[in-house]
């Protein structure tokens, strides 16, 4: 479950779930709306969003300096199931 990410979000428990999100084409350090890809494993079943589905969006509300925070939310669809999440990450590069 690996893919390149300019801004990536990972987390979960190896026993039950794992998720990895990618804000696509976020080559800038600015706030805004960007396409978003989400890949999940829940109870050993793999799910993934469709890269061409423009309903999957990340809204970056803060893009701090290295050591600061990247904050925002993401939402969209994995198949026929909606998802919504918020994030607050420490920027490492």
Write out the H or E segment, with its range, that includes residue 89: strand 81-90
In the chain, where the domains are located: 7-90
- Give pLDDT tens digits for 36-57: 888 877 777 888 887 777 888 8
Count other C-beta atoms under 10 Å from residue 41's C-beta: 17
Do 47 and 16 meet the contact criterion of CB atoms below 8 Å apart? no
What's the pTM? 0.71
**pLDDT tens-digit profile of 9-44?**
556 665 666 667 777 665 667 888 888 888 877 777
């Amino acid at each position: 479950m690996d893919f390149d990410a300019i801004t990536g979000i990972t987390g979960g428990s190896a026993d039950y779930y794992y998720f990895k999100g990618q804000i696509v084409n976020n080559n800038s350090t600015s706030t805004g709306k960007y396409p978003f890809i989400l890949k999940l494993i829940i109870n050993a079943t793999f799910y993934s969003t469709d890269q061409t589905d423009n309903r999957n969006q990340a809204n970056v509300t803060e893009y701090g300096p290295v050591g600061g925070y990247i904050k925002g939310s993401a939402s969209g669809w994995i198949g026929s199931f909606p998802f919504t999440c918020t994030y607050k990450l420490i920027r490492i590069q």
